[in-house]
Amino acid sequence: MKNPYRQIRPHRIPEEIVQQIKTLIREGKLLPGERLPPERALADLLGVGRSSLREAISILETLGFVETRKRTGIFVRSVSSPIISDPLRQMLEEDKSGLYQLYEIRRDIELASADVCAQLRTKADLAAIRKLLVKMQEDARKDRLSLTHDWDFHLAIAQAAQNFLRVHILKNVFSLAEDFMVEIVRKLIDEKTSISQVIEQHTHIFEAIKRKDPAEARALMDQHLTWVEDKWKEFGTR
């Protein structure tokens, strides 16, 4: 992968580091949840001293663009996180009907992403989506479904649609629905046959994107999300 970082000029070093990281996030070259290189490596990539880098990271944390996790590193935060607040999470926990509205938001974003992805995707985008599909297929052969691999597949499609806000907002939608979706995935695994259906649906979406067929990619994404919603309602009645 081509190095996305540019070396920093001597003047206004921390400010330039901040601006460069913000630009990489805006351009979708740094994704929500992605870990930045270790401090020493990042300082070398930027051509700056570690003290200047630490000052820049502190500014980025204050602005809400990154977060430092103890013993694990520095991670990109979702830039849409201010609109997905803890009160909203609490409301969804207290009233599960709000999850249906959250799913509507997901559907709106994902249908648009599939459509645009099929139009604009590059060979590199296609390779990234295929890689995640292969991981899902490997899980399925072991009678498993990984929520992480599933969501990464959908995020890769949003990323290929070249709208970084879709990626960040979708990441937050997934985060809000995580506890509920873990239970849905568990029930799908219990059904066994549902695993192969999930893989088949994702494969068809990938093939439509590969053919650069926006209408088909959108329709197949709609079918997939409708199937998941139907399963959700079915499980809710048990």
Domains of the chain and any CATH numbers = 13-76 (1.10.10.10), 82-236 (1.20.120.530)
Whether the predicted model's global pTM rises above the 0.85 cut: no
**Confidence bin at 78 (pLDDT 50/70/90):** confident
Q: Which residue has the higher pLDDT, 7 or 87?
A: 7
Chain-centre distance for alpha carbon 84: 15
> What does the pLDDT read at residue 237?
46
Checking if the pLDDT of 236 tops 90, the result is: no
> What does the pLDDT read at residue 6?
74
pLDDT in tens, 141-187: 999 999 999 999 999 999 999 998 899 889 888 888 887 888 888 88
> What does the pLDDT read at residue 26?
82
> What does the pLDDT read at residue 233?
83
